[in-house]
Amino acid sequence: MKLKALIQKEFQRFFRDPKLIATLVLPGVLIYFIYSLLGSAIWDGEKNYSYDVLVYGASPKVEALFEASFGESLTLTRTEDKENAKAQVKAGSVTALIAFSEDFDNAVSEYDPMSGEKAPAIEIFYRSADDASSAFYTAATSLLSAYEGEISNAFDVNLGGEQYDFSSTSEVVMTILGGLLPFLVVTLIFSSCMSITLESVAGEKERGTLATILVTSVKRTDIALGKVLPLSCIAALGALSSFLGIALSMPKLMGLSLGGMFVEYAFGDYILLLALIVSIVPLIVSAMTAISTYAKSVKEASSYTGVIMIVVMVLSLVSAFLSGIGDWVAVIPVLGTVVAIQTVLEGGAALLIGLIAIGINLVFTALFILLVAKMLGSERIMFGK
C-alpha cells in the first residue's frame, strides 16, 4: 500500500503538470518535423528542378549525353555570344552556361595526354548560391568525369549490365538502421530519463520534500522503488515519443518508403527489441536515481549525469566497430544492450546476446535500487552539509 501510494504520487506529479507532459511529447514531435523537413529539402528539391542551360561552342557527343541523362528537365540553347551568356547566368535568367573549346569532339579524340599540349576544355559558368544552378553544376561535373573516364579507359569495373550487388534494398536498410538506431535509441532514452529523474529525485532532495518522506515509517527500499518504477514508465513513454518521431521521419530523411523499413523484421525481433529497450530504461533511471540521491542539488546531479551521458554515447557509438568480438560484450551494461539492438536490426542471431543483456540490465537495476535505499539511510548523504 505504501509503495502503491509512492508510485501514484510520482504519476500524479507528472501527468497533472502540462509543462512536464510537454517535455515528454515535444522532443518526438520536433524530431519528426525537423527530420521530415530536412528529408524533403534533400530529396524533393533535387527532383523538381528544371535547367535552362546555354551552350557556347559545340559537342554533339556531350550534348547528347546531357540530354539523355537529364531528360526533359534540361533545355539546351545554343549561343554565339559568350560574354552575353555569362551575363545572363550572373543575372540568374538562365541556370548555367557550358562553353566548349573549339572543335571539342575532334580535339578530344585526337588528343594525346603525353604530348604536353593543352587539353581541350569545358567551362561551366554557374551560381553556387542558386539551388538549381548549384545542383546542375554538381550533376554535370560528375557526368563529365564519368564521360572522361569512359573515353580514355584502360579497363572497366562492373559495366557488364549484370547484378553485381547481391544485397537487397531491405538488407541495405537494415545495415543502416543497425548502425544508426541503437545510438539514437540509447541517447534518446538517456535524455528522456535525465530530464525526469533529476527533477524528481535531486529536485525533491534539494527542496526538502524527500526528507519529509524519510520521517515516515515507509521502508527505504520502497522509497527507492517508488521512484525507479514510475519514473521508468514515464521515461519509457518519453523515449517512445522520440523513437516514433525518428522512426516515422527516417524514411523521409533517407528517401525510402515507410513500409520498406519495417516489414523485414520478424515478430520475435520486435519482441526482443521491445524487451531490450524496456529493460535498459529502468537501468538508466535507477543509475540516475542513485546519482540524484547522492548529489546535493539538481545542478550537481546534472553535472554528474552529463559525464555519464558522454560515456554512454561513446559506448553506443563504438558498438558499431565491435561486430564479431563475441557475445561476452553482452555482460557490459548499456554496451551489451546496444550490441544486441544492433544485431537484431541487422538481421543477425541476437536471442542469446539479447537475453544476457536483459538479464544484466535487470541485475544492475536491482543493485542500483539497493544502493539508493542504502543512501537514503545515510545521514552523510541525505543531511550532510
Partner 1 sequence: MEENAIVRAEGLRKTFTLSQKQQKLEKTAEKRKVAVDGLSFSAYRGEIYGLLGPNGAGKTTTLRILSTLIRPDEGDAFVGGCSVLREGEKVRDKIGFMTSELKLEGFFTPSYLFDFFGAMHGVGKDALAARKQELFSRFGIDRFAEVKVSDLSTGMLQKVSLVVAIVHDPEVVIFDEPTNGLDVLTAKVVTDFLIELKNMGKSILLSTHIFSLVEKLCDRVGVIIDGRMAAEGTLEELCGGCSLEDKFFEIYRNIKGEIV
The footprint of partner 1 (CB under 8 A) covers: 1-2, 4-6, 9, 12-13, 16-17, 204, 207-209, 211-219, 379, 382-383, 385
Phi and psi for 123 in degrees, rounded to 5? Answer: -115, 135
Of 16 and 47, nearer to partner 1 (C-beta) is 16
CB of 214 to partner 1, least distance (A): 7
Give 223 or 312: the residue with its C-beta nearer to partner 1. Answer: 223
Least CB distance to partner 1 at residue 209 (A): 5
Closest distance between partner 1 and the C-beta of residue 136, in Å? 59
Least Å from the CB of residue 14 to partner 1: 10
Q: How far is the CB of 191 from partner 1 (least distance, A)?
A: 23
> Which of the 8 DSSP states describes residue 328?
G
Nearest CB to partner 1, comparing residues 18 and 71: 18
Integer Cα distance of 354 and 332 in angstroms = 12
DSSP string, 46-103: HHH--EEEEEES--HHHHHHHHHHHGGGEEEEEES-HHHHHHHHHHTSSSEEEEEPTT
Picking from 280, 204, 272, 205, the residue whose alpha carbon sits closest to that of residue 235 is 280
The DSSP line for 176-231 is: HHHHHHHHHHHHHHHHHHHHHHIIIIIHHHHHTHHHHHHTSS--HHHHHHHHHHHH
Give Cβ neighbours of residue 147 (< 8 Å, ≥ 6 apart). Answer: 62, 65
Q: How far is the CB of 374 from partner 1 (least distance, A)?
A: 14
Residue 4 or residue 90: which is nearer to partner 1 going by CB? 4
CB 379 to partner 1: min, Å? 4
Q: How far is the CB of 3 from partner 1 (least distance, A)?
A: 10
Return the number of the residue (145 or 209) whose C-beta is nearest partner 1. Answer: 209
Tell me how far, at minimum, the Cβ of 261 lies from partner 1, in Å: 41
User: Distance between CA 24 and CA 248 in Å, rounded?
Assistant: 17
| Cα 220 to Cα 2: distance, rounded to the nearest angstrom | 11
User: Alpha carbon 296 to chain centroid distance?
Assistant: 35
* CA 50 – CA 167 distance, rounded (Å): 33
In b/e form, how buried is each residue of 266-300, taking b as 16+ CB within 10 angstroms? eeebeebbebbbebbbbbbbbbbbbbbbbbeebeb
Judged by beta carbon, residue 12 or residue 142, the one nearer partner 1 is 12
Q: Name which of 118 and 380 has its Cβ closer to partner 1.
A: 380
Q: How far apart are CA 18 and CA 95, in angstroms?
A: 51
**3-class secondary-structure state, position 124:** strand
* Nearest to partner 1 of 127, 219 (CB atom): 219
Contact 57, 124 (CB under 8 A): no
CA dist., res. 217 & res. 207, Å (int): 20
Nearer to partner 1, 1 or 91 (CB): 1
| Residue placing its CB nearer to partner 1 in the complex, 97 or 225 | 225
Report in angstroms how near the CB of residue 190 gets to partner 1 at its nearest: 25
